Amino acid sequence: MIGAGLSFSISAYAIRNEVRSIGIRDFTFTGVRLATDATSLGLERDSTAFALVKASSVLVLVDFDRHKISARNCIAGAVSAAVKGAVNAEVEISVPEGAKIVSIMTNDSADRLGLAVGKPATAIFKGASVIVGVE
């Protein structure tokens, strides 16, 4: 979960809505939902909701200086945990605004990136990967 109790602003388009959260100390990310999703959830401007992103949908880059890419969410932070399993590693990136984003990758990928606690890293995920929910 990226955050609970986040405030969302919604930009409506013909087929989809862009849902932008403004929550924990100006931490912002974007999700893209079908227009019917926002209606069925009862999301309106400045609604309170939560957001989920599947850990395997989060890419991690190091030495990334905001090259132009198609993903709307490029969130810089630092590795706060890296736990290796038999095959995969769970990497947690903490951002200055207080949120934590988790990615799952192979152990080989984590080794190639040199991921260790304290190393700067950027979490990247597409807006379509954001699941928005309400209580």
- The proportion of the chain whose per-residue pLDDT surpasses 70, expressed as a percent, equals 66
Average pLDDT over residues 16-28: 52
CATH number of 3-133: 2.40.50.100
pLDDT tens readout for residues 62-120: 987 766 777 778 888 999 999 999 999 999 999 887 788 999 999 999 999 999 999 99
| Of 40-54, 78-92, 114-128, highest mean pLDDT | 78-92
Helices (H) and strands (E) in the chain, counts: 2, 10
The pLDDT of residue 15 is above 60: no
